[in-house]
Structure 1
Amino acid sequence: MSWRTLNLGEVAHIVGRGTGVRSPRGEYPLDPSLREDADNLVLLCADQHDEIDASEGLDLFTVEWLRRAKQEHEDRILHVTGLGPDRATTVLRMVGPVHGREVELSQQTAAAAVVARDRYPLFLESYTRHGIEIDLRGVPGESPFARSMAPQTAVAARDYYGVAGRLIDNVVERQLQPGVASDAVRHVSVFGFARLPLLVHLGSQLDDTVPTDIYQRHREDESWVWRDGDGPTVEFTTLVDQDVPSGGEAVLVVNVSGTIGMREVPVAQAGLRRWEIRPVGVPTGPDIMRDRGCLERFTAELRGFFAGLEVDAKTLARLHVLPAVPMSAAIALGRVHHPQVHPQLVVYERLAGSYVATLTVGGAGAGAGTAALGSSGRGV
């Protein structure tokens, strides 16, 4: 406030300078010759210095507590300052309501998850200096169409997904793509909480040539930090659930965070050739995507599946996708899909008790969050 350089820090002793009772923590068995060493000193604001030395708080601010706090702070600073320019990442956050529910995804939350991956976050790519943000919370219509009856659901969903999709496209085109083109964005960290079709759409807008880390929100503690090595290794497989000639259309059911029964496939697509991707040897579940390796193996399975389509299903023009996946997997699905090589994706969502086509990815009519709703349930 004064625009003057002032010395506001004070050097405080962990074990007091003296050995008498009036020296805070001075009775601790530390040689007096070591009490002025850096290991026994901490830099504090004046008010904090008074607080840790007050007699009423000595039972809280013990030698052990202060040493631990000092060590944790030094370790964090050493870690952050040790990250070179090649470990920088541009953070992209997308938040929207799901059945009217929202989550906390602040700049600090994203930064903590990124630093845990030995990277440091860049939040300088927008005028607000908050990073690249896609805020879908102001898009009207999310909650009502989730509760409406089927005929009204199609209209409400078309409006919601159309507006939300265009908002995603606008942010990517105006903020992310110029940064990639100018080489200012060399790595991207993606955090997304929204309805699954919109996450697939976001993934489809991410440049596959830029290294990208996708993060997952964990329900048990609401953290976004990957738990590498915590839990069993999960592999994925692709099964041919229904092998019948079906011309230019087919169905892909992705059962990871939950299970979509084959009887839930819309009637209009029930007779099509059908594949299922699911975990091997473990049940589906909402917290199955615990570590980054699990997402990598799921992504590899997706790449293998689409590569197989290029060989065995070249005539396939449209793939109806029913996803029961974690949000990070939905982003990965959109990113793996190549709009010029792979068939158009028609992404479904469970609305009003049945699966309804919501939007398309790739192919004619896609882009700008185009809704893919028709009276027959087929993408249009």
Structure 2
Amino acid sequence: MLCNTYLLEGVMSGRTLPLGQVAHIVGQSTDPRSPRGGDPLGKALRDEADNLMLLCAQQHLEIDAKAALDVFTVEWLRRVKQEHEDRVRHLTALGPERATTVVRMVGSVHGNAVELSRETAAEAVTADRRFPLYLESYTRHGVEIDLRHIPGEQAGAVWNAEAAAEASRHYYRQATAVIDDAVRNRLGPGIERETVQHVSVFGFARLPLLVYLGSRLDDTVPTDIYQRHRHEQSWAWPAESGPATEFAAHRVQAGPDGDEAVVVVNISGVITSHEIPRELSGLPHYEVRPVSAQAGPDILRCRASLRQLEETLRMFFARLEREAKSLRRLHVLPAIPLSAAVALGRAHHPQVHPQLVIYERLAGSYAPTLEVGQVPG
């Protein structure tokens, strides 16, 4: 109960085994050696369900250890038991249509990592009145895409921009292969069998990889994208409060009708015109930015704002499809939150829209590092 360990499966054998132990909150005996046995609870009530907890062996030993009895008091254990039972009642009251398959992608962002455990994701989806569906093929951890073991995440950080970009492209080739494998061999079969009806996405990685992940997710499956909120140190979306932030896409520079264009997505920050690489300066130039609000790292404070941004991006791609039929490659310079990067990838249709060339700030300037989708024929 305390550690949320699954108590019907052996970690080493993988076999179904009853590993839980029944523990008493107030000791079964009034003997001084019985943990918390001096409580005035009547002896006839000590074997009742209200006084029992199901624990793993290690935590059973810990709560009954003499040196820890001042921590694991009767009051503390009763409160934890009540909170756990309330959570179970909440989850079991949800119908099967509230199940969601959790997809977690964990990497480093220029050396910085973040805690994104199975429990963290479960708490966030539970707050949305859903429960995580951990199929057998997911080893009860959902679909985890772990990029932390891939060498080269920080490669080229102190080199010139060209060398840094080449090192990053090598890293991205390995990372996208890991993403492809997880989507194709783990998430995909569940979607085909219709055991996956809803997906919840949590991602902490470099922006181009989050865009790529979004592009690989099946757009026909309802999907919620989660955002890490810095102030609360939480992945749960806050309750909706106030109007959602609106966004718009504008053409800010005309150019010759050709097969390439540039879009700057200024959401969490602002990329100015002089930061756009010189080789792109003559191309048609678009910008996506907030309406009646300043770009900033906390602009996506509610889920509705993210939905507004995703809808704006879909409308932008539809506009290009109508008005720029010769466009084949779209150079994307993103200043966006992590959740928005996933939304950008989901809004892009690889068979219809121009190929996205995702840029990243490396060694003080923006360089192309990852291509999403194929160049249309």
Task: Report TM bin, short chain.
Answer: 0.7 to 0.9
**Which one of 343, 346, 369 corresponds to residue 335 of structure 1?**
346
**Which one of 216, 221, 227 corresponds to residue 205 of structure 1?**
216
Match of 2:228 in 1: 217
Match of 2:30 in 1: none
Alpha-carbon deviation of 1:185?
1.4
In 1, Cα distance between the equivalents of 2:375 and 2:260? Answer: 14
- Asked if residue 235 in structure 1 is aligned to residue 246 in structure 2, the reply is yes
Alpha-carbon deviation of 1:135?
1.0
Alpha-carbon deviation of 1:42?
4.5
Match of 2:5 in 1: none
Instruction: Write the letter of the residue equivalent to 1:282.
Output: A
Q: 1:11 to 1:199 in 2, by over 3 A?
A: closer
Moved more, 177-186 or 126-135: 126-135
Q: 1:24 to 1:160 in 2, by over 3 A?
A: same
Q: Please tell me whether the aligned partners of residues 63 and 72 of structure 2 are also in contact (alpha carbons under 8 angstroms).
A: no
Q: 1:287 to 1:126 in 2, by over 3 A?
A: farther
Q: Please tell me whether the aligned partners of residues 22 and 52 of structure 2 are also in contact (alpha carbons under 8 angstroms).
A: no
Match of 1:166 in 2: 177
Q: Please tell me whether the aligned partners of residues 125 and 179 of structure 1 are also in contact (alpha carbons under 8 angstroms).
A: no
Q: Please tell me whether the aligned partners of residues 231 and 290 of structure 1 are also in contact (alpha carbons under 8 angstroms).
A: no
Match of 1:16 in 2: none
In 2, Cα distance between the equivalents of 1:171 and 1:125? Answer: 15
- Asked if residue 303 in structure 1 is aligned to residue 314 in structure 2, the reply is yes
- Asked if residue 94 in structure 1 is aligned to residue 105 in structure 2, the reply is yes
Listed one character per residue, the Cα deviations across residues 104-139 of structure 1 (whole Å, up to 9, x for unaligned) are: 111111111111111111222536432211111111
Q: 1:11 to 1:316 in 2, by over 3 A?
A: same
Listed one character per residue, the Cα deviations across residues 280-308 of structure 1 (whole Å, up to 9, x for unaligned) are: 22211112212211111111111111111
In 2, Cα distance between the equivalents of 1:211 and 1:125? Answer: 22
Q: Please tell me whether the aligned partners of residues 125 and 175 of structure 1 are also in contact (alpha carbons under 8 angstroms).
A: no
In 2, Cα distance between the equivalents of 1:88 and 1:359? Answer: 33
In 2, Cα distance between the equivalents of 1:332 and 1:66? Answer: 42
Alpha-carbon deviation of 1:45?
6.7
Unaligned runs of 5+ in 1: 14-21, 27-31, 366-380
In 2, Cα distance between the equivalents of 1:249 and 1:353? Answer: 24
Q: Please tell me whether the aligned partners of residues 253 and 323 of structure 1 are also in contact (alpha carbons under 8 angstroms).
A: yes
Q: 1:62 to 1:195 in 2, by over 3 A?
A: same
Instruction: Write the letter of the residue equivalent to 2:52.
Output: L
Unaligned runs of 5+ in 2: 1-9, 11-16, 28-36
Listed one character per residue, the Cα deviations across residues 254-280 of structure 1 (whole Å, up to 9, x for unaligned) are: 011111111111111111111111112
- Asked if residue 43 in structure 1 is aligned to residue 52 in structure 2, the reply is yes
Moved more, 231-240 or 270-279: 231-240
Instruction: Write the letter of the residue equivalent to 2:102.
Output: V
Q: In terms of Rg, which structure is larger?
A: 1
Which structure 2 residues correspond to residues 101-112 of structure 1 after superposition, within 5 A?
Answer: 101-112=112-123
Listed one character per residue, the Cα deviations across residues 198-243 of structure 1 (whole Å, up to 9, x for unaligned) are: 1101111001011111111112232111113256631111122113
Which structure 2 residues correspond to residues 1-380 of structure 1 after superposition, within 5 A?
Answer: 8-10=22-24, 24=39, 41-44=50-53, 69=80, 71-124=82-135, 126=137, 128-230=139-241, 233-364=244-375
Instruction: Write the letter of the residue equivalent to 1:43.
Output: L
Q: 1:268 to 1:181 in 2, by over 3 A?
A: same
SS in 1 for 2:332: strand
Q: 1:274 to 1:76 in 2, by over 3 A?
A: same
Listed one character per residue, the Cα deviations across residues 175-216 of structure 1 (whole Å, up to 9, x for unaligned) are: 111111111211111111111001101111001011111111
Instruction: Write the letter of the residue equivalent to 1:97.
Output: S
Percent identical residues: 54
How many positions carry a matched residue from both structures?
348
Q: CA RMSD in A?
A: 3.4
In 1, Cα distance between the equivalents of 2:63 and 2:138? Answer: 39
Q: 1:124 to 1:59 in 2, by over 3 A?
A: closer
In 2, Cα distance between the equivalents of 1:240 and 1:127? Answer: 44
Q: 1:77 to 1:338 in 2, by over 3 A?
A: same
SS in 1 for 2:121: helix
In 1, Cα distance between the equivalents of 2:204 and 2:197? Answer: 23
